[in-house]
Structure 1
Amino acid sequence: MQHGPAVRRRKLGAELRALRATARLTSGEAARAVGWHQSKVSRIETGISGVKPADVRLLLDAYGVGDPELRELLVGLAGSEGNGRHHWWHAYRGVLPPTYRDFISLESQASGMRTLETSVVPGLLQTPAYARAVTRAALGGLDDRKLDALVEVRLARQDVLRAEPPLELSAVLDEAVLRRTVGGPEVMERQLERLLAAAHLPHVRLQVLPFSAGAHIGITGPFVIFSFPTTSDLDVVVLDHMTSSLYLERKEDLHAYSEAFNTLLIHALSPEETLDYIAAVRDGA
C-alpha cells in the first residue's frame, strides 16, 4: 500500500527489470550498454530512484524494445515528457495536490477504468455545474479562482473519453448517486441527462446498484481500478480519502477488488435496465 508516485516508480522498475531479463542482460551489462553505473540500474528497477523519460528510452533501446505502445506507456510513467496527451495538468501544479496529479497521470495513460461510486457521479461524466457544486461542497472555503481551476481540471480529464483510442469506462453507481440532489433540481436533471447520453457511448458501461440490492460488497466505500495496455502488471487500485489517496499494487489486492467489482456487476441492474432507471429518476420517479 503506497502513495501514487512510489507505485509508479515500482511498477515502471519492475517492467524494466522484466524487459532486461527478456533481453538476457544482467544489470551490469545493461548499465554498460547505456554508460551508467550498475547501481543506477538497480535503483531504477527497485523503485528507489525516479527515472527521466530520456533514460527510459535509452534502456528500451538497449533491450531492443520496439513496440511503440509499450514504449509510450513506460516513458509516460517516467514523467514529464510522457505520452501524446502532453501532461496538461502540470499547468495546474499550484492548485492540485501531488496525489491528484498522479491520479490524473494514471488516468491519462490507462486503457480501462472500473469504478464503484457510492456518493457522486464519476468525475469523467460530470457536467460543469455538477462538478462545481461537488467541488465547492467537498472543499469549502475555496476562492473563485481556485474553484474555477479545479472545475477546469475535472472537465479536462474527460478528454480521455474522446481520445483515440478512448478510455474504456465501466462504472457501477449506487442509487444514492442518482437520488442525491447536487447543485439543485435543474443541475441534477442535466446531470442525469448527461449520464444517459454517456451510457450510449460504445466505450462506456453504466450499471446502477439499486437500494433494493441491500448491503453489498462495496458498501465500505468507492474504489477505482486502472488497467493499462500491453501488460496487466501495471494495473492499480486507487482508494480515495478526504485528504489523500491510497494506491494498491499487490496482485492479491488487484484480484480482490476485481472480484468485488465483478460481484457488483452481477447484483447491479443491466446496462439496458440502468438506462430506464436513470430516465425514471430524471422524470421524478
Structure 2
Amino acid sequence: MELSPIQRRRALGAELRRLRSAAGVSGTQLGERLGTSQARISRVETSVTVKPSIDLVNRWLDAVKADEDERTKVLSLAESVLTEVHSWQAVHRGSLEERQRQLLALDEVASEIRHFQPFLVPGPLQTAEYAHAVIEASHLTANTDVEAAVAARLERGERLRSPEIDGPNYHVVVTETAVRWVPMAQHDVRQRQWEHLAEFAQSPRVTIQVITDDAPMSMPPLSGFVWVKFRDQDQHVRVETPSLGVTVAGADDLKIYATVWGQMVLAALSPDESQTWLSLLAQDQVAPPQREGD
C-alpha cells in the first residue's frame, strides 16, 4: 500500500531519529555536527513544518555513520518527501480550525512568507465577512466549525501585522482581479475588504503589491502559491488547486518559483504605489476595468 505524503514524512523522520539514537548521538550533538540547532533536528524527526534537504539528509547519514543499505533507503524516502501531493478531500476530513492553527504554528518558525494570489484576497488579509463568504462559497467541506476557522484566520492576520510580535515578513502580490473578486458580488463585503487591505498595507512587516489589469506581463499569472522561508534556512513552496495541494522543496523547483515570483513582482505596482492604489480603491476612486461590450 502506497504511503500518503504525511506518512512518508513521518517515516523519514522516524528513520533519521532511529539512526541517530542507534549511533548514540543526542539531538544537540547532531545539531553541532551539522551546523544547525537542536530545535531543527527535533522538527525534522517529528515531521513538524520542516522537510529536510537532500544535502542535510546526506550529512545526517554521514554523521551517524549509516551503512549503504540504510543510506539508500533513507535517501529514496527523502526524495519522495520533497514533493508532496495531497487531496483536499483528505485535508477537509479534519477540522477547518485545525488547518488555520497549523498555519499559525508555521508562522512561528518562518522568517519570510511570499504569497502570490491571482484569484482572491489571501487568507491573512481577509475580513471576517469576506473569510466567511470564501469558506462557505468553496463548498469543499461539510465541517461545521466555520466560525472557529474564521476566528483563527483573523488571529493569524493580526499576528502577522502586529509590531509587538516577532513574526515573519509577509510579502503579498495580488492581481487586481483578486482584489475585486468576492462571492456573489456582495458590495458591502467588498467595500470593507478594500478598506481593510489599505489599512493592512501600512503594517511594518507587511508588503502588498498589486498587479493591475492593464499591467504588461511577460509571464501569465497561472496559479497562486505560498513560498515559506524558515528561520533555520529551510524553505518550501505550497501550490493549491481546486482538488490538490502540492508542496515542493527541491532546489530546481524553488528556482522555478523564484523566477515566477520575480516576474510577478516586476509586473506589480511598487509597494508605495500599491498602498496609494488600494487607498483610492477603498474610496471608490479607481474605475473598474472596462469589459468587452461595455
User: TM over 0.5, yes or no?
Assistant: yes
Counterpart in the other structure of 2:177: 176
Aligned partners of 2:241, 2:156: CA distance in 1, in Å?
A: 20
CA deviation vs aligned residue, 1:71-92 (integer Å, no higher than 9, x gap): 334434555999xxxxxxxxx9
Q: CA deviation at 1:9?
A: 5.3
Does the CA-based 8 Å contact 2:180-2:190 persist in structure 1? no
Amino acid at match of 1:75: S
Provide Cα deviations, 1:81-111, integer angstroms capped at 9, x if missing partner. Answer: 99xxxxxxxxx98424998776565444221
| 1:100/1:200 CA distance change after superposition, 3 Å | closer
1:140 CA displacement: 6.4
The ranges of structure 1 where at least 4 consecutive aligned residues each deviate by more than 6 angstroms after the TM superposition are: 10-14, 97-101
1:167 maps to 2:134: no
Tell me, in whole angstroms, the C-alpha distance in 2 between the residues paired with 1:269 and 1:147: 34
Amino acid at match of 1:152: A
- Aligned partners of 1:268 and 1:78: how far apart in 2? 40
Structure 2 counterpart of 1:33: 24
Residue 81 and residue 171 in structure 1: after superposition, are their counterparts in 2 closer, same or farther (change >3 A)?
closer
Cα distance in structure 2, aligned partners of 1:147 and 1:102: 16
- The alpha carbon displacement at 1:11 in A equals 8.8
Structure 2: gaps spanning 5 or more residues: 50-91, 287-294
Query: What is the aligned partner in structure 2 of residue 137 from structure 1?
Result: 137
Query: Given the alignment, which residue of 26, 33, 38 partners 1:71?
Result: 38
* CA displacement 1:231-268 (0-9 Å, x = unmatched): 2xx21010002233100111011111012111211111
Q: In structure 2, how many angstroms separate the alpha carbons of the residues matched to 1:11 and 1:172?
A: 34
Q: Does 1:205 align with 2:172?
A: no
The count of corresponding residues between Structure 1 and Structure 2 is 237
Tell me the equivalent position of 1:150: 149
Question: Quick one: distance in 2 between partners of 1:3 and 1:220?
Answer: 27
Report the TM-score, using the length of structure 2 for normalisation: 0.67
Query: CA separation of 1:80/1:220 partners in 2, compared to 1, >3 Å: closer, same or farther?
Result: closer
CA deviation map 1:135-158 (0-9, x unaligned): 111126747x33223213322333
When residues 136 and 99 of structure 1 are mapped into structure 2, their CA distance, relative to the original with a 3 A threshold, is: closer
Alpha carbons of 1:252 and 1:11: their partners in 2 closer, same or farther (altered >3 Å)?
A: farther
1:160 deviates by 4.4
Aligned residue for 2:23, secondary structure, equals: helix
Give runs of aligned pairs for residues 1-285 of structure 1, distance below 5 A: 5=6, 31-34=22-25, 59-63=26-30, 65=32, 70-76=37-43, 78-79=45-46, 94-96=94-96, 105-139=105-139, 142=142, 145-158=144-157, 160-161=159-160, 162=162, 164-182=165-183, 184-231=186-233, 234-284=234-284, 285=286
Identity %: 25
> For 2:38, what is the secondary structure of its paired residue?
helix
1:283 Cα deviation from its structure 2 partner: 2.1
